[in-house]
């Protein structure tokens, strides 16, 4: 199951960055996010998978598709990838990938905790625990970031409205 | 069933560098934003895998990736409104055409 999910994530990830039709890229992005939600489910984090699906797949991808439709003649127009740029980008990505993978696979930096116990704990996560963690003010509890996120969302709503509104004075000029 | 931590790390590393490649190569603003989404998701997988395999007693990585999702949603909304505004002024959304701040 993990192999299928990983392969689909990577395949659609490559499709997202290489496909020249932008609407196709957005659809591939949707499948990548879907596969990542599957990974969360596989790690027994059902709540996070639900959040991933509803916020990313339901919200952000729809936002992308709306933006693509609002921006005219983007859906059909093909974007050419310049050769020099793609060679340089591929070089940067592959060299970074080589360094990171060597560190992850060769050096045993991460000492995994007791896996059986980790499985048991992950299987026993319930909504009460998640809610306590999100709403508490003690150590390992996250009320302050939660409130900061609400302020951030408010600021984002106002900012989005202000930036996207049509400026009448400039249009007259 | 439990796979080793490294499996998840390899997938997220590959996804991260796919995102980096797209960020460098693409010229379209919306495609660049999509690459950023890929990078954020790779980081989020890492947080979750570390939480699940190294510190299962607290929900730290869980909360981090929850807040990553929130910030990504906010960032995408603002960025798309900026892109639409740029499109209104320039009639295209190539990064090449937005160079007023360059000099």
Min mean pLDDT across A58-72, A112-126, B6-20, B71-85 is at A112-126
Residues of B within 8 A of A55 (CB-CB) are 69-70, 73
User: CB pairs below 8 Å between A and B: how many?
Assistant: 218
**What's the pLDDT at A79?**
61
> Average pLDDT in the B13-29 region?
89
Percentage of the residues of chain A whose pLDDT score is greater than 90? 21
In this predicted complex, what is the ipTM? 0.88
B26 touches chain A (CB under 8 A): yes
Q: What is the band of B1 on the pLDDT scale with cuts at 50, 70, 90? A: low
pLDDT digit string, tens, across residues A38-66: 999 988 888 889 999 999 888 899 988 88
DSSP code at position A104: H
| Gap from A34 CA to chain B (nearest CA, Å) | 11
The reported pLDDT for the residue numbered A95 is 92
* Cβ contacts of B83 within 8 Å, gap of 6 or more: A67, A71, B29, B30, B33, B93
Q: Does residue B24 sit at the A interface (CB-CB below 8 Å)?
A: yes
The Cα of B21 is separated from the nearest Cα of chain A by a number of Å equal to 5
A58 touches chain B (CB under 8 A): no
Q: Give the Cα separation of A112 and A109 in Å (integer).
A: 9
Say whether residue A130 is in contact with chain B using an 8 A CB cutoff.
Answer: yes
- pLDDT band, residue A30 (cuts 50/70/90): very high
Minimum-distance CB partner of B2 among A18, A115, A153: A115
How does residue B8 score in pLDDT terms, banded at 50, 70 and 90?
confident
Which CATH number applies to B27-94?
A: 1.10.287.3510
CATH class of domain segment(s) A1-80: mainly alpha
Tens digit of each residue's pLDDT (9 = 90 or more) over A118-158: 777 777 777 888 888 888 788 888 888 889 999 999 999 89
CB A44 within 8 A of CB A125: yes
In this prediction, residue B2 has a pLDDT band, given cuts at 50, 70 and 90, of low
B77:A10 CB<8 A: no
Can you give the pTM of this predicted structure? 0.87
Per-window interface: B 39-78 vs A, CB < 8 A: 41, 44-45, 48-50, 52-60, 62-63, 65-67, 69-74, 76-78
Which residues of A fall within a CB distance of 8 Å from B20?
89, 92-93, 96
> Which sequence spans correspond to the domains of chain B?
27-94
Greater pLDDT, A118 or B19: B19
Higher-pLDDT residue of A99, B58: A99
Q: Which H helix or E strand runs over B89?
A: helix B60-90
Q: Show me where the domains of chain A are located.
A: 1-80, 126-173
Instruction: For chain B, give the longest Cα–Cα distance.
Output: 57
Long-range contacts of residues A166-169, Cβ cutoff 8 Å, at least 24 apart:
A166/B88
pLDDT score at A168:
63
């Amino acid at each position: 199951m993990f192999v299928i999910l990983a392969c689909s994530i990577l395949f659609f990830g490559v499709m997202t960055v290489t496909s020249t039709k932008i609407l196709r890229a957005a659809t591939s992005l949707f499948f990548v996010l879907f596969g990542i939600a599957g990974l969360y489910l596989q790690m027994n984090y059902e709540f996070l998978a639900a959040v991933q699906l509803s916020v990313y797949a339901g919200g952000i991808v729809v936002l992308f598709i709306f933006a693509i439709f609002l921006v005219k003649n983007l859906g059909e127009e093909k974007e050419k990838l310049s050769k020099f740029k793609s060679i340089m980008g591929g070089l940067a990505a592959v060299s970074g990938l080589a360094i990171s993978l060597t560190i992850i696979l060769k050096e045993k930096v991460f000492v995994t905790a007791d896996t059986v116990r980790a499985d048991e704990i992950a299987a026993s996560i319930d909504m009460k625990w998640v809610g306590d963690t999100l709403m508490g003010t003690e150590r390992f509890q996250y009320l302050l970031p939660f409130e900061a996120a609400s302020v951030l969302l408010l600021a984002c709503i106002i900012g989005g409205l202000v930036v996207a509104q049509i400026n009448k004075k400039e249009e007259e000029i | 069933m439990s796979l080793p931590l490294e499996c998840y790390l390899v997938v997220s590393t590959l996804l991260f560098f796919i995102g980096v490649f797209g960020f460098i190569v693409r010229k379209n603003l919306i495609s660049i934003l999509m690459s950023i989404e890929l990078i954020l998701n790779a980081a989020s997988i890492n947080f979750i895998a570390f939480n699940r395999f190294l510190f299962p007693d607290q929900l730290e990585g869980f909360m981090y990736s929850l807040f990553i999702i929130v910030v990504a949603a906010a960032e995408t909304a603002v960025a798309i409104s900026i892109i639409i505004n740029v499109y209104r002024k320039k009639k295209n959304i190539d990064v090449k055409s937005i160079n007023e701040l360059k000099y």
